[in-house]
């Protein structure tokens, strides 16, 4: 009887989570999340407020950012939820994973979001905006969190057991490839060389995360950044569509190496359970079949953009497009909430074998 009740609660939780995602209605389901904690690393695709505390221009301070988010502008570079917000809801968390910058004490045990807008795998990415937390600095912040978890739980063994049950997601590389549009950088590195250079650093960073106790790690691949309104606009002033294809082809070289790294880690790191979430396949599929997903505008942004400091961000306090569910991009770089809902659902529960390798997030947390 008890098993039946527990299973019924779990089924109800999943049904209500999907209802919440589709309708935007806030529903609280008082059941345990599928993992005890969720730690998030990444750039502006996941940043939910960390850059607000940094001396940088790369921050979403005002409306129209957050126009469809219950708390208004929070630092999220979209109109509503980010992809990791969607994932956290599907995992059954009562609230979104909070930013590292504002989280203290026992709240750390449920996980934090280290994401920093404009950051990258390379330390030099995003520095033109001021200080941003690249992946190396995010890992330094996580090391501090791990030490606090040890202190809270009383010893390293308890901390290791707790952290080993958590979900970790890492989504880096988009800004590294937007930086590859710089002719000077392309003259320094052929596409294969650039992918190898990034992978050399990325593999060390992910090994560091493993050394801090991470075992269930979802690596979000780089999407087809050539389709972003920013890249399309920049490419139109250069070599047109061949520029878009160059950028997307370069990204695929990197993603192939990440997928190979997942195999290597799972084979050679004891207890490792890494998986690759194929953002490129998912977003390319939506872009090519946009009308079937309800999108009508794919190459321009929902908001009017200001080009100060090459941010191509939304103009502060201006009114964005009315039908935001018809747009794939909110500003020149970042997806709308409607797009994030599609990505997050496929990350959590793959609809195609190409969406995730070797498992989706739902499968990963069950390992």
Asked whether residue 65 is assigned to any structural domain, the reply reads yes
Percent of the chain with pLDDT over 70: 90
DSSP code for 297: B
CA distances 131 to 61, 78, 176, Å, are 16, 21, 16
H/E stretch holding 170 = strand 167-171
Residue 28 lies in a domain: no
Q: At what angle do helices 241-268 and 229-236 cross, to 10 degrees?
A: 140
Predicted local confidence at residue 308, as pLDDT = 53
Q: Which residue(s) pair with 169 in the sheet?
A: 40, 218
Residue 13's pLDDT is what? Answer: 47
The answer to whether 234 touches 246, Cβ cutoff 8 Å, is no
High-pLDDT (> 90) share of the chain, %: 84
pTM above 0.75, yes or no: yes
* Domain contains 56: yes
Distance CA 312, CA 327 (A): 17
d(Cα 301, Cα 190) in Å, to the nearest integer? 30
**Calpha distance 265→204 (Å, rounded):** 11
Q: Share the mean pLDDT of the chain.
A: 91
Q: Per residue in 163-173, is it b (16+ CB within 10 Å) or e — as a string?
A: beebbbbbbbb
Angle at 149 between CA 151 and CA 112, to 5 degrees: 150
Is residue 47 over pLDDT 50? Answer: yes
Establish if 151 belongs to a structural domain.
yes
Give phi and psi for 286, each to the nearest 5: -65, -45
Nearest CA to 117 out of 187, 46, 55 is that of: 46
278 belongs to a structural domain: yes
- Domain membership of residue 333 as a residue range: 34-366
What lies within 8 Å, CB to CB, of 365 at 6+ separation is 34, 35, 91, 167, 216
Q: Is residue 221 part of a domain?
A: yes
Q: What is the pLDDT of residue 23?
A: 46
Number of domains in the chain: 1
What is the token pair recorded at 296?
Answer: 């009508």
Question: Is the pLDDT reported for residue 144 higher than 50?
Answer: yes
Q: In 10 A of CB 264, how many CB atoms?
A: 12
Residue 2 has pLDDT above 60, yes or no: no
State the residue for tokens 């059941």: 31
**Dihedral sign, Cα of residue 203, residue 152, residue 103, residue 38:** positive
Residues 6+ apart with CB under 8 A from 207: 265, 269
Find the CATH number of the domain harbouring 66: 3.40.50.1110
Which of these ranges, 156-165, 177-186, 213-222, has the smallest mean pLDDT?
177-186
Residue 225 lies in a domain: yes
pLDDT tens digits along 96-105: 999 999 999 9
Give the pairing of strands 167-171 and 216-220: parallel
pLDDT, mean of residues 20-43 = 73
- Asked if residue 13 belongs to a domain, the reply is no
- The b/e string for 191-218 (b: 16+ C-beta within 10 A; e otherwise) is beebbeebbebbeebbebbbebbbbbbb
Residues designated catalytic: 44, 331, 334
pLDDT at 6 (0 to 100): 37
Q: Are 257 and 196 in contact (CB under 8 A)?
A: yes
Radius of gyration of the chain, Cα coordinates, nearest whole angstrom = 20
Band the pLDDT of 174: cuts 50, 70, 90: very high
In what order do the strands lie in the sheet containing 216-220? 38-42, 167-171, 216-220, 273-277, 356-357
Whether pLDDT at 312 is above 90: no
């Amino acid at each position: 009887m008890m098993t039946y009740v527990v299973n019924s609660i779990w089924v109800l939780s999943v049904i209500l989570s999907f209802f919440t995602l589709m309708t935007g209605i806030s529903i609280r389901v008082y059941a345990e999340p599928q993992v005890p904690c969720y730690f998030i690393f990444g750039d502006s695709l996941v940043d939910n407020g960390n850059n607000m505390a940094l001396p940088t221009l790369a921050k979403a301070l005002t409306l129209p950012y957050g126009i469809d988010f219950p708390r208004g502008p929070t630092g999220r570079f979209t109109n509503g939820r980010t992809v990791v917000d969607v994932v956290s809801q599907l995992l059954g968390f009562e609230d979104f994973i909070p930013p590292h910058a504002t989280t203290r004490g026992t709240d750390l045990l449920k996980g934090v979001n280290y994401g920093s807008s404009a950051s990258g795998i390379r330390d030099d990415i995003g520095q033109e905006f001021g200080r941003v937390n690249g992946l190396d600095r995010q890992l330094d912040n996580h090391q501090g969190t791990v030490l606090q978890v040890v202190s809270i739980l009383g010893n390293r063994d308890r901390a290791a057991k707790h952290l080993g049950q958590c979900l970790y997601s890492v989504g880096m590389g988009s800004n590294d490839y937007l930086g590859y549009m710089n002719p000077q950088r392309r003259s320094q590195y052929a596409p294969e060389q650039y992918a190898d250079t990034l992978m050399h650093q990325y593999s060390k960073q992910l090994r560091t995360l493993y050394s801090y106790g991470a075992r269930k790690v979802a690596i979000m691949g780089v999407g087809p950044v050539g389709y972003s309104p920013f890249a399309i606009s920049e490419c139109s002033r250069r070599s047109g569509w061949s520029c878009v294809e160059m950028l997307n082809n370069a990204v695929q070289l990197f993603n192939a190496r990440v997928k190979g790294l997942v195999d290597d880690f799972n084979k050679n790191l004891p207890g490792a359970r890494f998986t690759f979430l194929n953002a490129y396949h998912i977003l390319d599929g939506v872009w090519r079949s946009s009308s079937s997903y309800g999108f009508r505008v794919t190459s321009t942004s929902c908001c009017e953009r200001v080009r100060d400091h090459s941010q191509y961000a939304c103009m502060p306090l201006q009114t964005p497009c009315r039908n935001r569910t018809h747009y794939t991009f909110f500003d020149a770089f970042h997806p709308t909430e409607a797009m994030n809902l599609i990505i997050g659902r496929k990350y959590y529960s793959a609809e195609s074998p190409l969406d995730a390798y070797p498992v989706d997030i739902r499968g990963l947390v069950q390992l």
